Amino acid sequence: MAKKVGDCNISFIIPCYNPRLEDLKTAILSILKQIDRGDRIVVVDDGSDDSSGILETCKIDNRIKYLRNKTNAGVSFSRNRAMKECSTKWLTFVDADDEVLPDSIKAIKDELKKNKNIDVLVCSVGWQKRNEYYEFPLMDEDEELKFLKVDLISSVGKHPRSIGIAVGKIYNSDFLKQNGVLFSNHVTRSEDNIFFLDVLMSKPVIKIAPVVMYLIKDNPYSTTHKYTENVWYAFSNTLKEFEKHMEKSRTYEEALSIRRGKYVYMASVNEFNSDNYRTLKEKKAIVKEILSIEQNRNALKAFYNTRGSFIKRAMIRCLVKQRLNTAALLFSLRNKVVA
């Protein structure tokens, strides 16, 4: 398929691994109802245990391309594979348990027609959890790239949600290829953050679109809610990747310290929140080992100063002081309140 200057055809890349078929079908249909003949949906089956249902779902329309990885290679590998095979001028990412909102694709294409020389179109994203719904604030179009990068690294700032995710954005596929922007295959946590940081490092022409394009659905079956073995190792890999992108300045170092503190907190949540096979004593030993590093404790203090929730600040304070029995109790109470 030849790419033209005014071409507005889009590839919607959906990686999946053992998905709930009803969720995958909802995601695909949310796109199919809106797209044109030249658009494509690329479903990458990441070595699912049973691919028959996925393949059958992909046969409902000839604009859907099905790819299958021989082994479970991860979401980054799957996205990269689809990006390399992309035949349209534009591409975007959709998770198998989310959906594209009605009437948004036409509005997106109207923006692309008006802004032919852009590299990234950033749309608004909605988030749904149970009966609650809100929209992430859009990043500022005129904001200096430096400050966008600082916000992305720290994960706090004015608009970390809108810049820290790969979804809800339309990318010029030629821009990504020319700048060698791909997902990092060895990063398994915050891979979206590293990807968009790579995009920002390539100095793209960004346009903000007043379009609510994408709906993130809080899915209790997703990997986000599951216990992850050796999660601190995964977070450490991500921190190293951030360091590669950082300029040597106090501003960036402070931003990365906040990010580190967030990861220490999340690793503790991963242990205390989960019903894994470990005893409480073993869980505390793992968290204690993470907290034995002074840099991690100092980072937690930096992260503490960014949190508004009383109970979350109390949990962080217990971790800083290594009061792990109290921390475990607070995590347990928080789970009961959330549930």
Identify whether the C-beta of residue 215 lies closer than 8 Å to the C-beta of residue 128: yes
CA distances from 9 to 15, 35, 87, 170 (A): 20, 9, 9, 11
HSE value, Cβ hemisphere, 13 Å, CA-based, for 267: 27
User: Would you place residue 144 in the very low, low, confident or very high pLDDT band (cuts 50, 70, 90)?
Assistant: low
The reported pLDDT for the residue numbered 147 is 73
Return the exposure string of 274-300: e unless at least 16 CB atoms fall within 10 Å of the residue's CB, then b: beeeeeeeebbebbeebbeeeebbebb
Q: Is pLDDT at 339 greater than 60 in this prediction?
A: no
The reported pLDDT for the residue numbered 41 is 98
User: Would you place residue 235 in the very low, low, confident or very high pLDDT band (cuts 50, 70, 90)?
Assistant: very high
Min mean pLDDT across 14-23, 48-57, 320-329 is at 320-329
Mean pLDDT calculated for residue range 65-87: 96
User: Would you place residue 327 in the very low, low, confident or very high pLDDT band (cuts 50, 70, 90)?
Assistant: confident
Beta strands in the chain (DSSP E): 10-16, 40-45, 64-68, 90-93, 99-100, 120-129, 132-135, 169-172, 206-217
Min mean pLDDT across 25-29, 161-165, 189-193 is at 161-165
Q: Is the pTM of this model over 0.75?
A: yes
Angle (nearest 5°) at CA 144 between 138 and 145? 85
Residues 205 and 120: their CA atoms lie apart, in Å, by: 6
pLDDT digits (tens, 9 = 90+) for 94-143: 999 999 999 999 999 999 999 999 999 999 999 888 788 888 877 776 66
DSSP-based three-state secondary structure for 291: helix
The reported pLDDT for the residue numbered 329 is 85
pLDDT digits (tens, 9 = 90+) for 270-326: 888 766 678 889 889 999 999 999 999 999 999 888 766 777 888 888 998 999 999
Sequence spans of domains, the chain: 10-221, 227-338
CATH architecture of 10-221: Alpha-Beta Complex (3.90)
Is the model more confident about 219 or about 58? Answer: 58
pLDDT digits (tens, 9 = 90+) for 190-209: 999 999 999 999 999 999 99
